[in-house]
């Protein structure tokens, strides 16, 4: 017999914790929209939008500014939270990964 969701949740040991004890939090690189060519590549260029998983365009750019995927991305101006599975570039919205 399967336990109900309520039973499963009541079996969890809940507690308080600091996000920085679980995640590495860092500011992303800041690429200005005027410095990129939209549609020039295959790497996502993220913004602080809640649409399209925060992907504004796909670009080719200097790999020095490439951010690692498999992370949670927080849009700096909107605090929209998305999961990014692939490596990406970030705009200048003071975003966190």
SS3 95: coil
| Total-model pTM | 0.81
- Residue 65 carries which DSSP code? G
Structural domain boundaries of the chain?
30-97
Please tell me the predicted confidence (pLDDT) of residue 77: 83
Element (H, E) at 78: none
Predicted confidence (pLDDT) per residue in 64-96, tens digit: 999 999 999 998 888 899 999 999 999 988 788
Is 33 strand, coil or helix? helix
- Residues 28-57 have pLDDT tens digits of 999 999 999 999 999 999 998 899 999 999
User: Quick one: which of 46, 43, 50, 52 has its CA closest to 93?
Assistant: 46
Task: With H, G, I as helix, E, B as strand and everything else as coil, classify residue 3.
Answer: coil
Among candidates 50, 63, 53, which has minimal Cα distance to 89?
63
């Amino acid at each position: 017999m399967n336990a109900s969701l309520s039973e499963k949740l009541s079996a969890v040991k809940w507690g308080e914790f600091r996000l920085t004890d679980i995640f590495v939090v860092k500011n992303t690189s800041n690429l200005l929209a005027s410095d990129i060519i939209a549609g020039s590549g295959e790497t996502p260029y993220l913004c602080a939008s809640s649409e399209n998983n925060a992907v504004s365009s796909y670009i080719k750019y200097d790999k020095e500014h490439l951010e690692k995927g498999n992370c949670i991305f927080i849009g700096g101006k909107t605090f929209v939270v998305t999961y990014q599975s692939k490596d990406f570039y970030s705009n200048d919205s003071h975003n966190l990964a």
